[in-house]
Amino acid sequence: MKTIDELLTEGVAGKRVFVRADLNVPLDGGTITDDGRIRAVLPTVKALADAGAKVVVASHLGRPKGAPDPAFSLAPAAARMGELLGTDVAFATDTVGDSARSTVAGLADGQVAVIENLRFNAGETAKDDAERGAFADRLADLADVYVGDGFGAVHRKHASVFDLPARLPHAAGHLIATEVGVLKKLTEDVKRPYVVALGGSKVSDKLAVIDQLLGKADRLLIGGGMVFTFLKAKGYEVGASLLQEDQIPVVQEYIERAEKSGVELVLPVDVVTSAEFPDLKTKAPGHPHTVAADAIPADQLGLDIGPETRKLYASKLADAATVFWNGPMGVFEHPDYAEGTKAVAQALLDSPAFTVVGGGDSAAAVRLLGFDENAFGHISTGGGASLEYLEGKTLPGLAALED
């Protein structure tokens, strides 16, 4: 895989360089609530601009239905990128139309432009190869070189991720090179003990990675909404907690496999519950109760791991040499149910292990809860991409960058 360092050595001055970034930032109206993904691509954008390239940044945001939708405009991301770079960033109001063509044509060497949300064009996500390819052809007209740096999208077979690199000389940006290097540390010659903490809402989202990790990790810590399917599989009552009953047989099989293979599968010993889901907008006080994991009342739903479990999980992380954490331990957006996620994050900071926070809600939690991002070994920008890499899948966006 050619890297941006090699590309810069060859020279990019005067060339139009298309950077496929991941600017899929959370928005509250038109206000960005977490600019981590914009910051993550800045080293690549700045390096290209400083080398005299005409930088064309492209990304998706949200899930528009293949047509323009103001709610998903990248305009706020473009403005924020300009603020962070300390320079004007041009913005094209379409993807491959008149605005995009004129905006790119107007770039001087060293200038940066962002084009509108790629998913405003149905060709970006089309299942049909010809339709996707036709959109990639039009994107290719905007550039001389392609740099893939949107790690959060490399697991998608989309036009700008998979088809476009085949049409242009291509290289991996700094972010993708870093992400792949980190993930190799979790899959090749892993330093042990290797501990994985998994949370999030649905166990079905994590089954494939659990399947792989049962043969690789030494210890699995389970939390979040997904844990209640595990507790139910052990015969516990889970009250009104989130439950995927159809996944119970698979989870039971995984519990048995873990026992046979010597992988320590650690489940909560207590949980924090409430009779209702908290109001995440007003942050109005909830009504939390701590109960034993095998004694959840019928009218209560579990919203976080309990204090004894926090201590238990911290102890299970303390002697690790490698840690991968993906998914919060509870409803971290509300202060009454954030302590479990906070405890795991703190345990990672206290551990001498090489620690990887696997993107998505975990990365958002680290920032929301006030932790220093630089104190962790690595915070991934792509939760889904990280998981699929660990599952052993071929990621289209990485395959497309291979020579």
Residues in the chain: 403
Give me the sign of the Cα torsion angle 47, 50, 52, 53: positive
CA atoms of 370 and 295, how far apart (whole Å): 33
Letter string b/e over residues 117-136, b meaning 16 or more CB atoms within 10 A of that residue's CB: bbbbbbbbbbeeeebbbebb
Q: What are the residues whose beta carbons fall under 8 Å from the beta carbon of 328, sequence distance 6 or more?
A: 199, 200, 223, 224, 340, 341, 361, 362, 365
Q: Which of 229, 223, 227, 224 is nearest to 244 (CA)?
A: 229
Q: Which of 327, 360, 382, 397 is catalytic?
A: 360
Separation CA 295–CA 238 (nearest Å): 8
Torsion of CA 258, 263, 264, 265, to 10 degrees: -40
Q: Are 206 and 178 in contact (CB under 8 A)?
A: no
Query: Is 37 tagged catalytic?
Result: yes
Token output for 254 = 């995984």
Is the omega angle on the peptide bond into residue 64 within 30 degrees of 0, that is, cis? no
Residue 384 annotated in active site: yes
Q: Take residue 352 and report the two structure tokens written for it.
A: 């001498």
- In three-state secondary structure terms, 401 is coil
Cα angle 96, 398, 155; round to 5: 75
| Residue of 37, 54, 316, 342 marked active site | 37
Determine the Cα angle at 177 with ends 174 and 179, to 5°. 105
Q: Which of 138, 202, 257, 367 is catalytic?
A: 202
d(CA 229, CA 245): 7
Both tokens of 349, joined, read: 């900071």
| Catalytic residue list | 37, 202, 360, 384
